[in-house]
Amino acid sequence: MQITSVVQLPPADSGLQNSIVRLHNLNVDSKRKDRNKFFRREAVLIRNRETGASILRYVMGTPGGISIKKCEAGLDYDAVEVLGVRFKRQVNLEIKRASAFQVYRWFWKHPDLNVRISIRLGITGGVLGVLGFSVGLYPFLHL
């Protein structure tokens, strides 16, 4: 999906704890039936085509208080800073669904230390668990 302008989110929607992008309600399917639209709370990758900078955000629809057009996106200040764009100016952003690998990679390098440590410990624990299971099966395979 092509985004041509960015609207500033209100303070209640801003910050790393939320990490959301607000899109026009015509671009969001809350019932998860239409694959041509983004699903509510779905992870998406937002990429600036000019600079190559990208961020991961979760899709939300537009509440009544914010006016977002069909080709606009509502982002917080941190997202705009990373992407290198400005509010209410012409931009060249692309939004697409994030793969599982992209989500794990984003959390692996997340700006918040608590999130970064927890994902690294989780992945390390999973790898060590598989390794321990493999070592435990080794004696039974050579009988």
The pLDDT score that the predictor gives to residue 12 is: 86
| Predicted TM-score of the model (pTM) | 0.84
CA distance 78 to 71: 20
What fold is seen in the domain 2-98? Barwin-like endoglucanases (2.40.40)
Q: Which residues contact 105 (CB under 8 A, 6 or more apart)?
A: none
pLDDT digits (tens, 9 = 90+) for 74-121: 999 999 999 999 999 999 999 999 999 999 999 999 988 999 999 999
The pLDDT score that the predictor gives to residue 143 is: 61
Percentage of the chain exceeding pLDDT 70: 99
Model confidence at 28: pLDDT above 90? yes
- Listed by start position, the domains of the chain span 2-98, 102-136
Question: DSSP letter string over 20-36?
Answer: EEEE-GGGEETTS--TT
- How many residues make up the chain in this entry? 143
